[in-house]
Amino acid sequence: MQEYLSTFGISESLFNYLIMPVLIFMARVMDVSINTLRIMFVLNGKKNIAPILGFFEALIWLLAIGQIFQNINNPMSYIAYAGGFAMGTYVGMTIEEKLALGKVLVRVITPQPMTQLIDYMKAKNYGFTSIGGEGKFGKVNLLFTVMKRDALKDFIEKVTSLDEKAFYTIESVKRVSEDEINIMEDRPRFTTRILSRIRN
């Protein structure tokens, strides 16, 4: 390998202390990003996608750790490995947020009347349940709904526009009983959504 690189004027020191750490860093970014996405798909019940991601994650990890052992006396390799892990976590989380796959359970609690919010949800064809309750300071209204994550931002903006002090919680949902919003049947197909999110 070194003889091949020397034909391009790349010295052994340059390769060991710059090029190899950069390659290890990039490999770690890739495999940790894939790991983050694989966990997301596992939690969302994507049985066909998670194993494929796991295969490439393990393959890239082996390549990276193999280079670490070959350059075990090079401290730059360790720094690149750790740095790639940190950056890969960030990149994976960013991609996961952009894809916004899956469903979420949203609970909204407010003392204000929910007439406008309920009308908004009916217009958007969201399923929901609205009930009355009692809190520390008196009567409150509670609303429960399950929706696709890519619709969550607009919904929360609507809630806060009606009552900026509204209390709400958001939880990931793996499966719901109604066929029309089954977590295993995200439409359009996830590959189409990935490509469209990346282009945007």
| pLDDT tens per residue, range 38-55 | 887 887 677 788 889 889
What are the structure tokens assigned to 28, written together?
């770690």
Supply the pLDDT for residue 187. Answer: 43
Section 101-116 average pLDDT: 85
Closest of 166, 188, 30 to residue 111, by C-alpha: 166
Tokens 């994650």 correspond to what residue? 57
Q: Is 189 helix (H, G, I), strand (E, B) or coil?
A: coil
**What confidence tens digit (pLDDT) does each residue in 113-126 have?**
888 888 988 888 88
**Confidence class for position 87, pLDDT limits 50, 70, 90:** very high
Tokens 């359970």 correspond to what residue? 105
Section 63-90 average pLDDT: 85
Closest of 178, 172, 196 to residue 42, by C-alpha: 172
Specify the amino acid at residue 189. R
Supply the pLDDT for residue 8. Answer: 56
Q: Is the Cα dihedral 95, 64, 14, 72 positive or negative?
A: positive
Supply the pLDDT for residue 29. Answer: 92
Percent of the residues in the chain that have a pLDDT greater than 70, as a whole number: 76
**Confidence class for position 107, pLDDT limits 50, 70, 90:** very high
Inform me whether the pLDDT recorded for 198 exceeds 70: no
Q: 22-31, 149-158, 174-183: which has the minimum mean pLDDT?
A: 174-183
Average pLDDT, the chain: 79
Inform me whether the pLDDT recorded for 140 exceeds 80: yes
Supply the pLDDT for residue 148. Answer: 84
Between 52 and 197, name the one with better pLDDT: 52
Supply the pLDDT for residue 108. Answer: 92
Instruction: Give the helix/strand (H/E) hosting 132.
Output: strand 128-135
**53 Rama sector, left if φ>0, alpha if ψ -120 to 50, beta otherwise:** alpha
Q: Give 66's contacts (C-beta < 8 A, 6+ positions apart).
A: none
Global confidence as pTM:
0.59
For residue 35, the Cα-to-chain-centroid distance in whole angstroms is 10
CA torsion 64→78→87→32, rounded to 10°? 30
Supply the pLDDT for residue 85. Answer: 92
